[in-house]
Amino acid sequence: MPQENAKEIVYKAHEAFSRGDREAFVALWAEECEYQPAMERDIAGEEGVFRGHEGIRRWWQGMADSWRDWESEVHEVHTAGDQVLIACTVRAEGRLSGVAIEAQYFEVVTIRDGKIFASRDFPDRAEALEAAGQSD
């Protein structure tokens, strides 16, 4: 897949997330996809992996239950083959607490056949680069 198409898919996913368009977000993922957010990985290990479209919807619902006014801002996108390394910032407000958060994180996304096949989040750039088989 051309690198520009991979970048476009990643940007579309972040845009759908930021505007709260769950179905547009899900449509960008392959049926057999896997998503592992950093927090879930740190807390639940393999149990923190969301699989398939239903898993992505379950993750989305957990976000909607916990947060409001969320958005994601992409700062950097680097491609290497079918993998995309992304640096971004997420902002949200706790639904019950009203506490605002802003956190930078990194994603390693695998694109296959024009869809997101796998995505893993990392709190640290070096860890994301290592997972992607790249170096600074």
The C-alpha angle with vertex 17 and arms to 21 and 22, in degrees rounded to 5, equals 35
- CA 83 to CA 70: how far, in whole Å? 25
Strand order in the sheet with 50-51: 50-51, 29-36, 115-122, 100-112, 83-94, 67-80
Residue 48 pLDDT exceeds 90: no
Buried-exposed string 42-73: b where 16+ CB fall within 10 A, e elsewhere: eeeeeebbbebbebbeebbeebeeebeebebe
Question: What does the pLDDT read at residue 87?
Answer: 95
Share of the chain above pLDDT 90, in %: 69
pLDDT bin (cut points 50, 70, 90) of residue 25 is very high
On whether the pTM is more than 0.95, the answer is: no
- CA 31 to CA 88: how far, in whole Å? 25
pLDDT bin (cut points 50, 70, 90) of residue 27 is very high
The three-class DSSP label of residue 95 is coil
Other residues' Cβ atoms within 10 Å of the Cβ of residue 20: 15
Of 82, 79, 78, residue with least CA distance to 114? 82
Average pLDDT, stretch 106-111?
Answer: 95
Domains of the chain by range and CATH? Answer: 3-130 (3.10.450.50)
Question: What does the pLDDT read at residue 22?
Answer: 96
* DSSP β-bridge partners for residue 88: 74, 105
